[in-house]
Amino acid sequence: MKFSLAADYKRAFKEADIRGVYPAEIDDEMVYFCARAFVEEFGYQKVIVARDMRESSVALHAAFVKGVNDSGADVVDIGLMHSPGLYFASGTMNLPGVMVTASHSPREYNGLKLVYPQAIPLTEADGLKEVRKRMESGVFVDGNKPGKTIKKDIAKAWQKHSCKGVSSTAFSGVNIVADAGNGMSGVILPLLAEKLAVTFNVLFPELDGSFPNRGSDPTLRKHQKHITKKLKDSSHDFGISFDGDADRIAFFDETGTYINSAVIGALVAEQILQKLPKAKIGYTVLTTRSYEESILANGGKPVLMKVGHAFIKKAMREKDVVFACEHSGHFYYKEYFFTDSVTLTLLYVLEAYEAARKKGLSFRQMMQPYLRYHQTEDTIVEVDDKQHALAAVEQYVRTKQPRTLKKFDGYRVDFGDVWGVVKPSVTEFALKIMFESKSKKHARNVQSELIAFTKSIAHTRK
């Protein structure tokens, strides 16, 4: 079979998903053959397909559907849906699936999140490499009877599942600013508003894959201006903001100050441990030390995991971890098929806030006990060779005589009053650098020094 692939398609195949610049690294034809490879590699008869609102998602969605059908399998097309909605569909229907999205990446990107039945993600080590190799071979089964496509609206089923057990009068009087950022949370927020007695003041609810108002990643300061201003200029209990495919949620207090997501994780973990004493809770090298300390203080068992949604989900299943969180705004739950749920996170936070405001506490006051450290914004430095750059940084750090230097998902370094991590990015050709301290100045100074060094060797190779 004759076919061509995007010029730089190999760059789109990451450790945990497929993601790249459209159309140079990922295009319609590549996605069509990727769909065929996915179906034929595992012998699937039916596949769930969903997409986000990115400008190229319509074409990529159509290409994937056609690829599945041409390989003889049926498609359950759930259309526009956030990534946790795809995970819900895969988990409840016990079917494989794909989410067409580039998640939090900039507007020029797009990608595929492939999952086995029960929303188990494919990674380079667990199936994604085989899909890529089959796609590259160009050998596909001809003469299959084309599959059919069935459109299915899962919105109400997702709503019922996500809000089960929550009273329609719960959280009455709570006013929240919700920055949808023109992403997929614009679809789910109205569904939550139907079930909760919460008032959502929604910014940018219109679906628009050009991201006209802010970039997709809600944890970056440059993307927080609108929600910060809204909270400062009005009276609300707190704020929330989402990324493009709404699998990340960021929280802001009533003054518009962003609250580190792992600090929110500490609050959620405490609630979960009250219900499930001694449960295992997952954390990563990038989460604030406050989170790990809170797990221990509440009798939980902290489990260190590799950064990245697919790796965390796998580790949670293998080690029976009930909850995990990342500083990036991902929150994972055993009760939600070991996947991300912004909705469960919001409900846990609302539950805690309901108890706090009965004591006369504001959102900021509720979070204050967890705000023990200052963590820098994680900075990405692009490099030609991640492993070479990481090795060079390791040698440089050793000359500074750190108290400890531990290798796990990069390097965790502790200078005593400042600690942090330098690690390879999962989705980009880059290193991530983040530091933390009781002193914001000290954390920034150490981070700046490591960033400068990394940039100086970024384009050198062994």
Annotated catalytic residues are 103
Amino acid in the structure at residue 211 = F
Q: What is the rounded CA–CA span in Å between residue 414 and residue 253?
A: 30
Angle at the Cα of 221 (from 216 to 227), degrees rounded to 5? 75
C-alpha 287/C-alpha 398 separation (Å) is 23
- 178 sits in which H/E element: strand 174-179
Pair of tokens at residue 56: 């190229």
Instruction: Give the three-class secondary structure for 112.
Output: strand
CA proximity to 252, closest of 279, 273, 232, 277? 232
Q: How many residues does the chain have?
A: 462
- Beta pairing class for 331-333 and 301-305: unpaired
Q: Determine the Cα–Cα distance for residues 35 and 32; give it in Å rounded to an integer.
A: 5
Name the nearest CA neighbour of 423 among 324, 339, 308, 344: 308
Residue 369 neighbours by CB distance under 10 Å: 13
